[in-house]
Amino acid sequence: MHSPLYPWLHAEFARFHALRSQGRMPHALLISGEPGLGQGQLAMRLAQATLCHRPLDDGQACGQCAACRPFLAGAHPDFSLLTPKEKDSKDDEASKDKKDNKAKDIKVDAVREFCAGLYLSSSFQHGKVGVIEPADVMNAAAANSLLKTLEEPPAGTLIILVTSQPARLPITIRSRCQRWQVGIPERVTALAWLARQPQLAGEDPVRLLDLAEGRPLTALALAEPERLARRGRWLESVLHVLRAGGNPLSLAASQDKAEWPTLLHWSRLLLVDLIRLHGAGQVDQAVKINLVNRDYADVLAPLAARLHARELFGLYDYLLESSRLVDHPLNRELLIEELLIRFQRLGGHA
């Protein structure tokens, strides 16, 4: 039996059910949204529901029929899931470095095979469904190959592309798909779900959801003690640099480059808190309570009071700019260095 659909995805599912009941389901969907919102689960549920022989009243798959059983076992003949394959990597330093930089992509051969499968006749007369996740890692030749199928899709097929970075897909691909964007869920829905998860292990769901900027699956992943510990170590390091201690270059070199998006995320939240505290002037309790990094309020408050607004906003702009470069792996070490140097400079005015 499958786990329940995430509660914040019910509206998206209802949309699918309505389109399907009216016979208006498109041949291709592009499901996007920030990471940590369960877009992959949504794609799989739409696929299963499309193939199910006895869907429930709300359109969801029954989980038990002759289509659902092989689907859940990963062996439905009319369904294919295309995900990136790990590159073969030899155990030397050069390939390890390459692996850090670009571990996964989807190549043209894989897309050709995926598309060829969609043209075979359906085994159960419920059409064919293919999911590509994440679709943005298709290389140019792979995307081109998919485009041919999107231009002339075989009858009765549904192709679902999942991505948190739709802009990385060629416009020709995007324009042939119906766009569905999964938004940040209502806070009350996300918190109620989070509070029920056993992996939470006593962590405060409100704090985790704040640190994850409202994304429930990211919040849940944060409940792993090691993740929170890593955040603590990074914040301590940045604060140390801000107080003109430490060496930004050696600190940058000691960071795991694969962690760069996460480090950037923590840095941005730290800066947002500093900006809020700075703006509040005399620190009042209400501001402290609303901080994302509440556990650092006593350290951040006096620090923020000594910083300059112009410098704070300058660094914030730089962080936004860096977020756009987050997928340029070759730059990662330089980006971390630059970020830490800028934090040190920010503290230098204190």
Positions in the binding site for Zn ion (CB under 5 A): 52, 61-62, 65, 68
For Zn ion, the closer CB: 62 or 81: 62
CB of 295 to Zn ion, least distance (A): 46
For Zn ion, the closer CB: 68 or 106: 68
CB of 234 to Zn ion, least distance (A): 46
CB of 127 to Zn ion, least distance (A): 14
Token pair belonging to 230: 């890593």
For Zn ion, the closer CB: 84 or 127: 127
Token pair belonging to 208: 């985790």
Residue 283's alpha-carbon distances to 298, 302, 303, in angstroms, are 10, 8, 11
For Zn ion, the closer CB: 5 or 191: 5
Between helix 332-348 and helix 260-280 the angle, nearest 10°, is 20
For Zn ion, the closer CB: 61 or 182: 61
Between helix 140-151 and helix 108-119 the angle, nearest 10°, is 20
CA 167, 194, 221, 334 torsion-angle sign: positive
Residue 301 to residue 216: CA distance in whole angstroms: 28
For Zn ion, the closer CB: 19 or 62: 62
The string of DSSP letters for 113-124 reads HHHHHHHSPPSS
Contact present, 197 and 186 (Cβ < 8 Å): no
Give pairs for 216-224: CB < 8 Å, separation 24+: 216/6, 216/8, 216/36, 216/37, 216/38, 216/185, 216/190, 217/6, 217/36, 217/37, 217/38, 218/35, 218/36, 219/36, 219/190, 219/194, 220/194, 221/36, 223/197, 223/199, 224/199
CB of 156 to Zn ion, least distance (A): 18
CB of 335 to Zn ion, least distance (A): 47
For Zn ion, the closer CB: 62 or 275: 62
Amino acid at 219: A
CB of 121 to Zn ion, least distance (A): 21
CB of 51 to Zn ion, least distance (A): 8
For Zn ion, the closer CB: 62 or 228: 62
Token pair belonging to 317: 């702009």
CB of 49 to Zn ion, least distance (A): 8
